[in-house]
Amino acid sequence: MGRTFEDFIARTNAAETPEEVFHLYQQALAALGFDRVIYSRITDHPSLGVKAGHGLERNYPEDWMAHYAASGYERKDPVPRFAFKTADAFTWDWLVAHAVLTDEERRVMNEAAEAGLRDGVGIPLYGPNGEIAGIGLANATGDVKPDKNLLGLLKAMAAQFHIAYSEKCADAHDGAREIRLSAREREILLWVAEGKSDQVIADMLHISYPTVRFHLANIYRKLGANERIFAVAKALRQGLITPNFVEPIEVAR
């Protein structure tokens, strides 16, 4: 990837509108070989005061979107259904090969490929209050085969996009609350950003594993996050931790 993840964070943080955030996201994805993206809110988002919505931002083929809507595929698509069962990014190929799908669900996946949506990736995004959003990625040529490292990068980028986009859409009062992290909480979160496990962090800081978990629970509560990657992305965005010690994430070529 030509730009580091740190650069992507900085650019999306500096964006002034949701549309600009999405444009930057499209550029970053294109550099990784994904020229198709769709962003949806799978559940209502009370934190933003908005309802669930499919395809809030997208550059999927419009003829496919029209066919998708006319065929009622939003109720038959297995990708958002599977998003309720995992927190990880997953390939559509894996879903077709390993999940128990109905004939209708397989038809959705087959027709998507015929419409030029290949090498698909689904990325669930979990927020506070049980909120779930989702991102679908694909390319028209079928020449991208995501591995575990690329899926990890795509998940991190999606989390940053979702946070930056949501904050641009939020009501003014949503950003008014000041968040304060203790010195220990910031220290632990920086090591989380480095990819260290809870046990490794405990050993490095000479504290117990339950103590690390206690601090992480407080961090999640303060940030309105319920997983590590969201907590890190939100803390970086709000300047609660600095990325000086966070190694840029690059995709091996």
What pLDDT, on the 0 to 100 scale, is given for residue 252? 37
φ/ψ of residue 2, rounded to 5: -60, -35
Pick from 117-131, 155-169, 232-246: least confident: 232-246
Q: What is the pLDDT of residue 250?
A: 40
pLDDT band at 230 (very low <50, low <70, confident <90, very high): confident
Residues β-bridged to residue 41:
53, 133
Q: Report the share of the chain in percent with pLDDT over 70.
A: 91
Torsion angle of alpha carbons 195, 145, 41, 155, nearest 10°?
Answer: 10
Distance between CA 48 and CA 33 in Å, rounded? 31
Residue type, position 119, single letter? D
185 Cβ partners below 8 Å, 6+ apart? 215, 218, 219, 222
HSE-CB of 229 using CA atoms within 13 angstroms:
20
10 found inside a domain: yes
Give the least confident one: 49-58, 97-106, 164-173, 215-224: 164-173
Residues 152-188 have pLDDT tens digits of 999 999 999 999 998 888 743 444 456 888 888 999 9
User: What is the domain count for the chain?
Assistant: 2
Same domain, 126 and 33: yes
Q: What is the pLDDT of residue 171?
A: 43
Task: Considering only the C-alpha atoms of the chain, give the largest distance between any 2 of them, rounded to a whole number of Å.
Answer: 59
Per-residue model confidence as pLDDT tens digits over 32-62: 999 999 999 999 887 777 788 888 899 999 8
227-233: long-range pairs with CB below 8 Å, 24+: 227/87, 227/126, 228/192, 229/155, 229/156, 229/159, 230/125, 230/126, 230/127, 230/159, 230/163, 231/189, 231/192, 232/189, 232/192, 232/193, 233/9, 233/156, 233/159, 233/160, 233/163
144 in the same domain as 112:
yes
Radius of gyration of the chain measured on its C-alpha atoms: 19
Average pLDDT over the chain, rounded to an integer: 87
Q: Is the pLDDT of residue 251 over 50?
A: no
Do 117 and 199 lie in a common domain? no
End-of-domain residue from the set 172, 196, 213: 172
**Nearest Cα to Cα of residue 39 among 22, 27, 24:** 22
Q: 194 lies in a domain? A: yes
Enumerate residues 6+ apart whose C-beta is below 8 A from 226: 126, 127, 128, 220
pTM of the model: 0.72
Domain boundary among 154, 172, 190: 172
- Both 88 and 124 in a single domain? yes
Residue range(s) defining the domain that contains residue 231: 178-245
Q: Identify the band that residue 23 occupies on the pLDDT scale cut at 50, 70 and 90.
A: very high
pLDDT at 249 over 50: no
Looking at residue 237, which CATH number applies to its domain? Answer: 1.10.10.10
Residue 77 has pLDDT above 90, yes or no: yes
The answer to whether residue 87 sits within a structural domain is yes
Question: 32 forms bridges with which residues in the sheet?
Answer: none
